[in-house]
Amino acid sequence: MSGPEKAGSRRIRVLVVEDSPVIQQLLSHVIGADPRLEVAGIASSGEQALRMIERAAPDVVSLDIRLPGIDGFEVTSRIMRQNPLPIVVVASDVRDLDIPMRALQAGALAVVEKPGSMARADYQTVAHHLCTQLVIMSQVKVIRHRIAARSARPAGNAAPDAVPADASAYGRLPEAAVTADGRLRRFRAVGLVASTGGPAALARILKDLPPGFPLPVFVVQHMGAPFMAGFANWLGTVSPLPVRLGEAGLVPRPGTVYVAPGDRHMLVEGGTIRLSGDPLVCGQRPSGEELFRSMARAYGASGIGVLLTGMGEDGARGLVDMHKVGAYTIAEHASTAVIHSMPGTAVRLGGAVEELPLDRVAGRLLQLTSDDKMAS
């Protein structure tokens, strides 16, 4: 994710929702020390936060996930229904991601690690990352969500009444998907890349891919390294497909989802997964550029690349590389992307065969991998 543009001379107002007095003081210190930010108010419960929003007029919310009374998911759901604001979930327990992931489904934009203590060795790094995410997310234009309480449906900006993916609902495929004699091209792998808004978008796609999906699926999601194992586990609870972190030397299997682990690029080389600690690309590690470029080399025209919501340009030029070798490439349409920067850049560079709203991506993947040899 690229750095934010200058937000102007006014400081960004942060509503801190945290029940621990000690952590309240710590977060107030961290936020107050950043010249870009100021504390607009502190709420000790979700109910208090909801009451304070109109009076405090925050630009962004820092939200604890374990609160007395209503939990972080319910707070997020109500804010996004009533007074939509950018929400950054601040999590202390990186092993149990159920609540923050559900909050992301409900419309929260990011999950970051809680600084915890000034005594920890990486305190400055964690504190700076928290502040930077608050600045970045404060600039996102959020929309009101219509979400049933405790719904299992990923929210994002997808149509609330969307139906499950159906490969038969799309009619004739674009020419890029078929051979000269009208037969459906054969594909060997799918790559999905996302950043801000990505967890809900990925969940939306993966939940609609059925058991026995015929291709391996590679996923790059920009998220703090401590959260990646829990994120992969969570994706496995919403998808019919098995989901695991990518490991060096693994041979990709059809119908399995491989998530890039924290702080490592994931590539496909020589028929196996390779992990790399090479420098950040587009400010990211893992990087979608690295995944897509390796897929262009490994699979050529038999790869499928999908670039989803996100700030910055990561993955855009990699999608162009895939497109140049004949792969089928999809960019998420602006109508559903939380942030259209990544897919929009790919479209501007000519790297997308087509743009699709989020609720149509899984259906297209099913259509591209249909057992029917002739294109309809």
Q: Which residues are catalytic?
A: 195, 222, 314
User: Which one-letter DSSP state was computed for residue 282?
Assistant: T
Contact 367, 170 (CB under 8 A): yes
Report the interhelical angle of 288-299 vs 316-324 (nearest 10°): 10
For residue 80, give both structure tokens.
Answer: 């996004």
What residue has token string 């942060």? 14
Nearest to 299 by CA among 363, 202, 216, 357: 216
CA dihedral 362, 188, 179, 347 (to 10 degrees): 50
Strand 265-269 to strand 272-276: parallel, antiparallel, or no bridges (unpaired)?
A: antiparallel
Contact 199, 231 (CB under 8 A): yes
User: What is the distance between the alpha carbons of residues 335 and 357, in angstroms, rounded to a whole number?
Assistant: 6
User: What is the distance between the alpha carbons of residues 300 and 327, in angstroms, rounded to a whole number?
Assistant: 6
